[in-house]
Chains A and B, each alone.
Chain A
Amino acid sequence: MQFAIEAQSLVKKYGGFAALDDINLAVNRGEIFGFLGPNGAGKSTFVKIILNLVHATSGSARIFGEQIERPQARKTVGFLPENIRIYPYLSIEEFLRFHSELIGIASKKINDDINTCLRDVNLESVRTQKIGTLSKGMLQRAGIAQAILGNPELLILDEPTSGLDPIGFTELRRLLLEMKSRGTTIFLNSHLLSEVERTCDRVAILNKGKIIKSGSRDDLSDRGKHLEVVAEGFNESMEKAINVLSQKNLENDGKYFRIYLSNEKDSVTVHRIIVEAGGWVQSLAWKSESLEELFYRLVKHEDMGFNKDRP
């Protein structure tokens, strides 16, 4: 199968520091792939290598089977960089026209394409405004418009929600899902875990230049469901009893605490323990580990030197 993005043993070193260390990744056609990681994990470096803006120290990568070093590989790729910089003296329309010509869109189609993109990002009314006069959010929208020009087969977005207001978030999510339905592959590089969780089919978590976990949203967590309890009057005897029940799988956050139980029936026992120990249960619910929790857990463990033999 030909992947939209395929990276093999990709390494990028800056002196002795490995920004990317043996990255193997395959993004399927037509999926939304989330690429997560803390600051400095190497996410943007990976994207830049894929687009041949940065050169890998070793390893190889392909876009739709084409070596990334060839300009042809980027023929059907739309890219939104983090903190996009655009010539400030151009109007939005001129900027999009410039990119249409770079992509090679037929001159007859350029106007239609520009109109569609401006409509998609709600910038029709300011199309003649100079880029230098745009707000951060509008600049980001202009960047998104250039990325989706010419209906790319692969859309690479580096922190696309940066500077967008909540309406912008929602519109971007709708746009991405619409593009996915048309067969576009979307590679989403983001810190906004809730957005990634809502839109992505598969996710990879990167930390210190290495992929520490990847897979579909359901495959990622090995913890299953947990019981989330909001209670008052948490005390030591209560903690001891719950730790025995959950085999020390208790995470206490003050008023909140999460208990990882293998048996759903044990929730009744937990309730009883809290009440008998003089506590008061406000709520008690079964939840799956969110992407944010998983991300925090994995990255934190990695930073503390755990997970030495990661999967």
Chain B
Amino acid sequence: MKIWALIKIGLKECLRQRVVYFIFLISLLFVFMAKGCDIGTIKGESFLIGKEARQGITLGISFHGIVFWSIMLCGLLASQVLTRDMDEGFASVTLARPLSRDSFIAGKLLPVLIISALNLTILGWLFCWFFYRTAGAITMQIPLSFLFMTVSIALYGLMICCLSLFIPRLLAPLAGIVLYMLSCWSSLPYFFENLKILWTPSETVQRLHMLLPKFGDLQFIGASILSGGKPLDAVNPLFIACNIAIYACVFWFVTAWAFKRREL
């Protein structure tokens, strides 16, 4: 009940922020882009690639665009979820109640994850609906790919929340995006066969790919599912699951440890 009370307040707080609606609108543009499932009417390009390929590119751009902005939204919200309450002095009144600091973190972070997931779900279903209108059929590939991204967003939110306790809160989403991009970049050669011809990942890239949180793998798995590929052939799913679980635990415990040491 205590966490639920915090979640209710947190949801209200998130929904009051204009950035939520602003980012939703930007993401919506990418959904509209997918609506036509067509790259456009530039003739010079359209005769070079077939209709299916064109659809695939449009779907891909839309998907990555939506995911990027959802990640941004989650990062911006998560970066201030604890720090703002501490800086503004709201936390001291709340924590003077019989509430553990772990519950406080959970109660503050969950609304951010809920709003981010909700944003992604709405966009995902709109994506589905437009696809249905174009293709005349429903495919489970779209919700499934967005489901993978929900996991990624939850991990990202946890990471930003953790980072915000160590670096200035405005820099946390920026640092998070850099890590995210780095993870995506190190995953590229594992998911794009054609790229392997041009780029054999060095040992450093391989190490980075192994050690960084698997944001990139999740994103490309999602994109592969969407385009009807077999994403799990390229990577070890168990390894990805373990990486995500370990990072989730590390981010949680470091956040809890740092927050418990904070004086309000």
Q: Which residues of A contact B (CB under 8 A)?
A: 48, 51-55, 71-75, 77, 79, 81, 83-87, 89-90, 98-99, 101-104, 143, 146
Kindly identify which residue among A71, A101, A103 contacts B100, using a CB–CB cutoff of 8 Å: A71
Q: How far is the CB of B169 from chain A (nearest CB, A)?
A: 17
| Known contacts A48-B264, A104-B1, A104-B2; is-contact A98 B96 (Cβ 8 Å) | no
Kindly identify which residue among A53, A81, A104 contacts B263, using a CB–CB cutoff of 8 Å: A53
Does B90 touch A at the CB level, under 8 Å? yes
Question: Within 8 Å CB of B261, what residues of A?
Answer: 55
Question: Within 8 Å CB of A51, what residues of B?
Answer: 92, 95-96
Question: Within 8 Å CB of A103, what residues of B?
Answer: 97-98
Q: How far is the CB of B30 from chain A (nearest CB, A)?
A: 30
Question: Within 8 Å CB of A52, what residues of B?
Answer: 95
17 A–B contact pairs at CB < 8 A? A51-B96, A53-B96, A55-B263, A71-B100, A72-B98, A74-B99, A75-B98, A79-B96, A81-B89, A85-B89, A85-B90, A90-B12, A101-B4, A102-B5, A103-B97, A143-B93, A146-B93
> In the complex, what distance in Å separates the CA atom of A73 from the CA atom of B95?
12
Within 8 A of A (CB), among B147-176: none
Q: Is the interface of B mostly helix, strand, loop or mixed?
A: helix
Chain B positions 43 through 76: 1 when the CB is less than 8 Å from some CB of chain A, otherwise 0: 0000000000000000000000000000000000
Inter-subunit contact A85/B5 (CB<8 Å)? no
| Known contacts A48-B264, A101-B5, A104-B2; is-contact A89 B98 (Cβ 8 Å) | no
Q: Which residue of B lies closest to A76 (CB)?
A: B98
Inter-subunit contact A81/B96 (CB<8 Å)? yes
Inter-subunit contact B96/A71 (CB<8 Å)? no
Interface size class of B (residues with CB under 8 A): 20 to 34
Kindly identify which residue among A55, A71, A83, A146 contacts B99, using a CB–CB cutoff of 8 Å: A71
Question: Within 8 Å CB of A89, what residues of B?
Answer: 12-13, 16
Q: How far is the CB of B231 from chain A (nearest CB, A)?
A: 43
New contact pairs (18) apart from A98-B9, A101-B1, A101-B5, CB-CB < 8 Å = A48-B92, A48-B263, A48-B264, A53-B96, A54-B263, A54-B264, A79-B93, A81-B89, A81-B92, A81-B96, A83-B89, A84-B93, A85-B88, A85-B93, A98-B5, A102-B2, A102-B94, A104-B98
Q: Which residue of A lies closest to B5 (CB)?
A: A101
Query: Which of B1, B6, B12, B92 is the most central at the interface, judged by chain A CB atoms within 10 Å of its CB?
Result: B92
Q: How far is the CB of B16 from chain A (nearest CB, A)?
A: 6
Inter-subunit contact B95/A53 (CB<8 Å)? yes
Kindly identify which residue among B6, B13, B93, B100 contacts A81, using a CB–CB cutoff of 8 Å: B93
Chain B positions 6 through 22: 1 when the CB is less than 8 Å from some CB of chain A, otherwise 0: 10110011001000000
Q: Which residues of B contact A (CB under 8 A)?
A: 1-2, 4-6, 8-9, 12-13, 16, 88-90, 92-100, 261, 263-264
Q: Which residue of B lies closest to A146 (CB)?
A: B93
Q: How far is the CB of A243 from chain B (nearest CB, A)?
A: 51
> In the complex, what distance in Å separates the CA atom of A72 from the CA atom of B12?
28
Inter-subunit contact B90/A87 (CB<8 Å)? yes
Q: How far is the CB of A156 from chain B (nearest CB, A)?
A: 8
* Shortest Cβ-Cβ A-B pairs, 3 listed: A101-B5, A85-B89, A79-B96
Q: Which residue of A lies closest to B264 (CB)?
A: A53
Kindly identify which residue among B89, B93, B96, B263 contacts A77, using a CB–CB cutoff of 8 Å: B96
> In the complex, what distance in Å separates the CA atom of A85 from the CA atom of B91?
9
> In the complex, what distance in Å separates the CA atom of A86 from the CA atom of B92?
10
Q: Which residue of A lies closest to B12 (CB)?
A: A89
> In the complex, what distance in Å separates the CA atom of A55 from the CA atom of B4?
27
> In the complex, what distance in Å separates the CA atom of A102 from the CA atom of B91?
13
Kindly identify which residue among B8, B88, B96, B264 contacts A74, using a CB–CB cutoff of 8 Å: B96
> In the complex, what distance in Å separates the CA atom of A77 from the CA atom of B97?
7
Q: Which residue of A lies closest to B8 (CB)?
A: A98
Inter-subunit contact B98/A71 (CB<8 Å)? yes
> In the complex, what distance in Å separates the CA atom of A99 from the CA atom of B93?
9
> In the complex, what distance in Å separates the CA atom of A174 from the CA atom of B157?
48
Query: Which of B93, B263, B264 is the most central at the interface, judged by chain A CB atoms within 10 Å of its CB?
Result: B93
Question: Within 8 Å CB of A99, what residues of B?
Answer: 97
Q: How far is the CB of B80 from chain A (nearest CB, A)?
A: 13
Q: How far is the CB of A146 from chain B (nearest CB, A)?
A: 7
Q: How far is the CB of A82 from chain B (nearest CB, A)?
A: 10
Question: Within 8 Å CB of A104, what residues of B?
Answer: 1-2, 98
